[in-house]
């Protein structure tokens, strides 16, 4: 999908080595955007994505960082900016899904989920805002989940982290709208990624009859990046399971 050009723009995609993040990285690269691919453990996959963009004539770098840590985020943004230019597109995609029920959910599970899924979005947003403000242009897209509004299958800690992310989205959107910076979210439900492997029965819950694809989520992200009039919104993607 190459509907518009992002040449001259620099994107940072957290958790960009696989699944939804990788699909977003590829689509940004195809649009001519320079892309920093953040990863925590999957170096080979992240390096391969960056190499593919470079081979196609673009600019990309893979950067290892735990985005729930302040110092790591600062170093990541500094390196990405030095190698590619100031970041003006941020996709907060990094996340963890620890499946727990009410009775086996621990404080450690809760804390880790909030750190990785919610605090990381705050840290990365704060880190890139100065560059966006200097340019008077910015796009921030947060990858939420249908669990922000529904029961979800992972656990209440996950629900809380994604609901918090949508609150964060609206809070930043309201305060940055006059500075040329839009902040939106995409909330996919059941997408065919590593997280959903081995659970084909889940498709029976979806009116459309199948799991969503990572590139379908990436297309929604691109729509939000392209549209300067949308801010503070959450695009839900559930194959007809739920409606806003």
CB contact burial 102-133 (16+ within 10 A = b; e otherwise): eeebeeebbebbbbbbbbbbbbbbebbbebbe
d(CA 105, CA 74): 31
Angle between helices 120-135 and 70-84 (to 10 degrees): 40
Beta strands 60-64; 34-39: pairing state = parallel
d(CA 157, CA 75): 29
d(CA 215, CA 131): 28
Spatial neighbors of 223 by CB under 8 A, at least 6 apart, are 235
* DSSP-assigned letters across all residues of 133-148: HHHT-EEEEEE--GGG
Active site residue 229: no
Under a CB-based contact definition with an 8 Å cutoff, are residues 96 and 147 in contact?
no
Catalytic residue among 39, 158, 172, 229: 158
Q: Which residues are catalytic?
A: 158
């Amino acid at each position: 999908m190459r509907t518009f050009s992002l040449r001259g723009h620099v994107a940072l995609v957290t958790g960009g080595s696989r699944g939804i993040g990788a699909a977003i990285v590829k689509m940004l690269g195809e649009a001519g955007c320079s892309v920093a691919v953040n990863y925590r453990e999957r170096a080979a996959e992240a390096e391969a994505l960056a190499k593919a963009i470079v081979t196609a004539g673009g600019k990309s770098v893979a950067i290892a960082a735990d985005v729930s840590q302040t110092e790591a985020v600062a170093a990541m943004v500094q390196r990405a900016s030095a190698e590619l230019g100031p970041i003006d597109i941020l996709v907060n995609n990094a996340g963890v899904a620890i499946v727990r029920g009410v009775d086996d959910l621990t404080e450690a599970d809760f804390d880790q989920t909030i750190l990785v899924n919610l605090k990381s979005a705050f840290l990365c947003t704060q880190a890139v805002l100065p560059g966006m403000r200097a340019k008077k242009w910015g796009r921030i897209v947060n990858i939420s989940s249908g669990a922000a509004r529904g029961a979800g299958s992972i656990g209440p800690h996950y629900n809380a982290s994604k609901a918090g992310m949508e609150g964060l989205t609206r809070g930043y959107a309201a305060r940055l709208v006059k500075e040329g910076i839009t902040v939106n979210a995409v909330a996919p439900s059941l997408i065919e990624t590593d997280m959903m492997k081995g659970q084909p029965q889940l498709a029976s819950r979806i009116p459309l009859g199948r799991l969503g694809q990572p590139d379908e989520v990436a297309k929604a992200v691109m729509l939000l990046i392209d549209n300067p009039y949308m801010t503070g919104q959450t695009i839900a993607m559930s194959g007809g399971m739920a409606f806003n």
